[in-house]
Amino acid sequence: MILLARLLLAAVSGVLVYASYEPIGWWGAGILGIALFYASLIPWKQHRPTGWAGALLGFVHALALYLLLLPWIGEFVGNLPYIALSIVLALYALATGAFGVLIARHKWGFLAFPFIYVAVEFVRSSLPFGGFAWVRLAWGQINGPLADLSPWGGPALVTLATALIGCGIVGLLASLRGGLVAIVVPLVLAIGAGFTVNNPAHTTEEVTASAVQGNVPRMGLDFNAQRRAVLANHARETHKLADSGEQPDIVIWPENSSDVNPFTDPQARSLIDDAVAAVDAPVLVGTITRDEVGARNTMVVFDPETGPGDYHNKIYLQPFGEYMPMRDFFRLFSEYVDLAGDFKPGNGDGTVSMRGIVVGVATCYEVIFDAAYRDAVLNGAQILTTPTNNATFGFTDMTYQQLAMSRMRAIELDRAVVVAATSGVSAIVHPDGTVSQETGMFEAATLTETLPLRDSITFAARYGQVVEWILVGMGVLLMLASVVLRKRR
């Protein structure tokens, strides 16, 4: 019965952490969820869970979270891929629970467990096939004060602070020395860090930017079959922008806004050139190109005076979507395997120049990777953009979850972010993570706003990876320490 109560607590904790993510966005629920998860691992009077029981508790916690967080993956391919991914991701939490139980046997365990949590999160976000960083605990803190820690350590530091406060609550309730410190210190540091976010002193100039959302004829996996219609929609919205009297300096189209390659299709090229000429500003267009290596997911600048210019070939590709690892093996489980693409990763510096303005580009899935925007900023990016295609996920939470990541990157790197989506939600994000404008889903719309260009290099941009390695290293050492102490006992 006690184990059953622990399992129930672990499941509820997963539900609470889910509630911290957008579109619900109750950031405090993430902290409370971690508190309940840690509470399920600690000894209860004379009952001390085993390592195996801890592994099961970790799995239940994670599975409850991911089954609620990731249904958008199965929107048009059925439940099997989404459930399978949730189970695979939950397997990582076996280690979180098992080592968590061992470390929770000690009075100082509530201070150690957050580092273990970060270490497992790092592995899950890195391996295999580049990992799946979509489910980092930090993303659920975008509406709370802890997000302001991101300029000093990126999402890894935000995850640590979230887990530390949650575990600190358990320590405080258990009258353990240091529980209050574990709660107060991260909050005080976050509030202090908040005063350094969005410093106008780093604004060098301003730029008027437009995000064009052309919409798609219908949602679903087959929207690409309507490529010319999607392109025509974005061209039409750009002509409307030109007729509106707005005078943007740069215009951002979404990923896949022209899946008809304008370098091989004269009609597609004509539609783009006419739209670019009408708005009289460089336009960043999402398209599909091919070179001697293979197919590329490309964002390319079209200038009304000089024509095609800089481009960004997507570097961090989505496995099981843009490419299929172990295709023959996974074909045994799903007929949808052969719908996956065969794109090749790019090797650029993450930036494009649009009439002298250096724009950092993280195309859709790339926004979850720390290095994508950090490298862009270190290579001179003054403003960032997340061109994305979410039409394949319908009216799901996917677009809101992804927008939260762009908001976190804005805070982390002190840059405005222009989010341009094919079907919504497109948004204008300021360097403090606030959203000043956003579109609805599956509507044609254009957002235009004057935004700051920044020259700052945050601590996270330069040293964020080092911070994460230190946190992860401490987590691994604490895992080893928990095993050694168990053997001594």
Q: What tokens appear for 304 in the block?
A: 């009304």
d(CA 210, CA 246): 9
Q: What is the pLDDT of residue 85?
A: 94
Q: Are residues 288 and 369 in the same domain?
A: yes
Q: Are residues 474 and 429 in the same domain?
A: no
Alpha helices (H) in 331-416, listed in sequence order: 370-378, 398-413
- For residue 148, the 8-state DSSP code is G
Q: What is the pLDDT of residue 25?
A: 98
pLDDT band for position 165 (50/70/90)?
A: very high
Q: Are residues 57 and 185 in the same domain?
A: yes
CATH code of the domain containing 446: 3.60.110.10
For residues 411 and 235, the answer to whether their CB atoms sit within 8 Å is no
Domain count, the chain: 2
Q: For 342-363, write each residue's pLDDT tens digit.
A: 999 999 999 999 999 999 999 9
Q: For 3-31, write each residue's pLDDT tens digit.
A: 999 999 999 999 999 999 999 999 999 99
pLDDT band for position 489 (50/70/90)?
A: low
Q: Are residues 130 and 208 in the same domain?
A: no
Q: Are residues 436 and 475 in the same domain?
A: no
Q: Is residue 413 predicted with pLDDT exceeding 80? A: yes
Q: Is residue 414 predicted with pLDDT exceeding 60? A: yes
Q: What tokens appear for 320 in the block?
A: 């099981």
Q: What is the pLDDT of residue 219?
A: 57
Exactly one of 75, 121, 167, 314 is catalytic; name it.
314
d(CA 401, CA 25): 9
d(CA 342, CA 321): 9
Exactly one of 364, 366, 412, 468 is catalytic; name it.
364
Q: For 385-400, write each residue's pLDDT tens digit.
A: 999 999 888 899 999 9
d(CA 472, CA 58): 18
Q: Are residues 372 and 402 in the same domain?
A: yes
Q: How does DSSP assign 160-201, residue by residue?
A: HHHHHHHHHHHHHHTT-TTHHHHHHHHHHHHHHHHTTSS-GG
First to last CA, the chain: 27
Alpha helices (H) in 379-458, listed in sequence order: 398-413
Q: Is residue 225 predicted with pLDDT exceeding 60? A: no
Task: Verify whether residue 364 is a known catalytic residue.
Answer: yes
For residues 124 and 132, the answer to whether their CB atoms sit within 8 Å is yes
Q: Structural domain of residue 445, as residue ranges?
A: 201-455
d(CA 244, CA 248): 11
Q: Are residues 469 and 413 in the same domain?
A: no
Q: Are residues 221 and 74 in the same domain?
A: no
Q: Are residues 262 and 163 in the same domain?
A: no
d(CA 270, CA 354): 20
Query: For 268, what's the count of Cα atoms within 13 Å in the CB-facing half-sphere?
Result: 22
Residue type, 82: Y
- For residue 218, the 8-state DSSP code is S
d(CA 299, CA 154): 26
Q: How does DSSP assign 287-318, residue by residue?
A: EEEE-SS-EEEEEEEEETTTEEEEEEE-SS--
Q: What tokens appear for 53 in the block?
A: 């029981």
Q: Are residues 207 and 322 in the same domain?
A: yes
Task: Verify whether residue 167 is a known catalytic residue.
Answer: no
State residue 5 phi and psi, 5-degree precision.
Answer: -65, -40
Alpha helices (H) in 1-146, listed in sequence order: 2-20, 27-41, 51-69, 79-104, 109-124
| Residue (of 384, 363, 393) closest to 454 by Cα position | 384
Neighbouring residues of 160: CB distance < 8 A, sequence distance ≥ 6: 114, 115, 117, 118, 153, 471
d(CA 60, CA 93): 9
Q: What tokens appear for 288 in the block?
A: 């599909």
Q: Are residues 184 and 271 in the same domain?
A: no
Task: Verify whether residue 314 is a known catalytic residue.
Answer: yes
Q: Are residues 102 and 206 in the same domain?
A: no
